[in-house]
Structure formats: structure tokens, C-alpha cells
Amino acid sequence: MKQDFIAIQEALFEQLALHETQTPNLLERTKRGAQIVGKVLAQLKAHVLENDFESKEEEITFYKIIFPNIHSQNVYYSRLFRIEADSPRKVPAEYKRFLEQENERINLFFEEHGALFIYHRSKASDMDEVYFLRNSLYNNNYPDDLDGMLDTRFCNPNSIRLGELMGLERVKEYLEKAMEKADAALEESRRALKPQLVWTARKADLAELGYAIYASKALNHGRAELKQIFAWLEASFSISLGNPYSIFRDLRVRKGERARFSEVMKSALEKLMEEMDEDTSRAFNGGKAPRHP
């Protein structure tokens, strides 16, 4: 019977390898891959229920090696299909955040089932009868999320968990590569959107503007911190302002008008408005200057 399982596993892996090379579209590849593996899992279940195992050693081999290897393929394809189907690829920032959240979910799963994964990776065998025999007392205590959903004649919770861990390890590798690409795409989009504007007035004037924005609570409903505002101004205008607190100290000890640049902007804006008013009035008077009483 052991040789039957090995033959089924090898045939599946050959079929999946061919499938990988013949299906370039990732969404279609993962969907079809999960379907292929699902059929083999059903075949394994029927085989076990019809023939059962000849010995404890054969049962342990099946649930420690054969089943997790095959189930991991199902987990890999199914999870990757969902990630690809749900991912907001068109918005780089949202896509990166989505990938990070998926990666964090996998990390939490590994933390929860770390002992089993360490046992698997260390190639230990001293707990095999506890972990991988269906009649083990440990395996009769089903986790809440699996209780009532599994056919206990065939299923082994630890074997299922191990398959999940193995499959998610591959998904995690995919996510890490995808996050690297997302970082590069996000940086590229930021460069493309970055305005080619250079601050040509004095640095002190820009610092004064930053403090005015902070004091007026005009950003993030007043919750933007001073350092955030200065970092935003520096990035927007490709300039280094230095320590904002020392700059503010210099502004406060100025002689005369301490908010000098604010007054300059106010005067310039009022002058612009007056000029535009005059232009509008002149247009209404056929190009002649308006008469004043």
C-alpha cells in the first residue's frame, strides 16, 4: 500500500510540473492546480477508507510525509489563487499593504503552530505516534476550527496542519518576492508623481510656512506632527531644513515682524487679487480703466 501512495504522489508532482510550464497565467494556473490536487486528495481518501493501513509505521509515513506533501500543494494553489483574485494591483500603495497583511496572517499561523513546524523541520521522530496516528489521544482533541468538519476515519489534524505550514511556507516566499516588486513599483510611481518644484526662497521662509501649517492645524484634522510636516516639505521641494525646533527659536528672536514670510505672502496675495479685480473691471469697461467718483 505504501508503494501505491508513493506512486500517486510522484504522478501528481509530474502532472503539476507539466501544468506549471503550460499555464503562464497565474490566476488560471493556481485555480487549475488546486483542482488537480483536490482530485488526488479525494483519491487518497477513498484508497485509505477502502484498504486502511497495514501497520503503524505505514500510517505514520502516510500522515507525516505523503499526505502533508500533497495537501501542501492544495494549500499553496488555493491561497495563491485567493491572493491573486483579491489583490488591488492597480494601486501600488494598496497592493503593498495588502501583501503585508497577507504575510502577517501567515506569520501568526506559524507562531500558533510553531512546535509542529519545528518538529517537521528538525526531522524528529520521537513524537510520531502522538502526532501522526489517528487513534492518538492527541489527535482526538480536534481544534475548534476543524471540529465537526473532518472525516475522522481519514483525517489527522496534525497532518493537515503540517500540510498547511508547508504550503504557506511557499506562499510566504511568493509574498516576499511580490513585496520587493511592489516596493520598486511604489517608488517608481512616487517618482513619476513627484512635482518638479524647487524652493527658491529662503529656507527660513519655508520653515516659517511649516510652522504656520502646524499652528493652524490644517493637516490631518490637526493631528499631523511637526516632524511629519517638515519631512513632507523637505520631500516635496528637495530641500533639507535641519532641526525644526532650532529654526523656530531663530524665528522667535527675529527683530520686527517674526512672521515675516507670512506677511509677504499675505501682501502678495492681496496685490494679486487687486490686480485681478482691476483686470476684470477693465474688461467690463471695454478695456478702459474704471472711473472713480
- Does 87 reside within a domain? yes
- Does 292 reside within a domain? no
Distances (CA, A) of 67 to 121, 201, 244: 16, 69, 61
- Does 290 reside within a domain? no
119 and 212 in a single domain? The answer is no
186 and 148 in a single domain? The answer is yes
What gap in Å lies between CA 107 and CA 18, rounded to an integer? 31
32 and 174 in a single domain? The answer is yes
160 and 56 in a single domain? The answer is yes
Reported as a single tens digit per residue, the pLDDT across 28-87 is 999 999 999 999 999 999 999 998 899 999 999 999 999 999 999 999 999 999 999 999
Q: Where a domain ends, among 148, 164, 193? A: 193
- Does 293 reside within a domain? no
Neighbours of 229 (CB within 10 A): 20
- For residue 44, which of 17, 12, 15 has the smallest C-alpha distance? 12
Dig out the grid coordinates for 21 from the structure: 510550464
- Does 291 reside within a domain? no
Q: Where a domain ends, among 193, 225, 243? A: 193
Which residue range(s) make up the domain with 244?
Answer: 203-284
Reported as a single tens digit per residue, the pLDDT across 220-266 is 999 999 888 988 888 888 888 888 778 778 878 876 778 888 999 99
Counted domains in the chain:
2
Dig out the grid coordinates for 162 from the structure: 503540517
25-62 as b/e, with b when 16 or more CB fall inside 10 Å? eeeebbbbbbeebeebbeebeebbeeeebeeeeebbbb
What gap in Å lies between CA 163 and CA 117, rounded to an integer? 10
What gap in Å lies between CA 203 and CA 242, rounded to an integer? 10
- Does 23 reside within a domain? yes
pTM: 0.65
What's the pLDDT band for 148 if we cut at 50, 70, 90? very low
180 and 208 in a single domain? The answer is no
Distances (CA, A) of 217 to 79, 212, 229, 262: 44, 9, 11, 16
What's the pLDDT band for 141 if we cut at 50, 70, 90? low
Report helix, strand or coil for 260.
helix
Residue-level pLDDT at 186: 79
Query: Who's near 170: CB < 8 A, 6+ residues apart?
Result: 72, 76
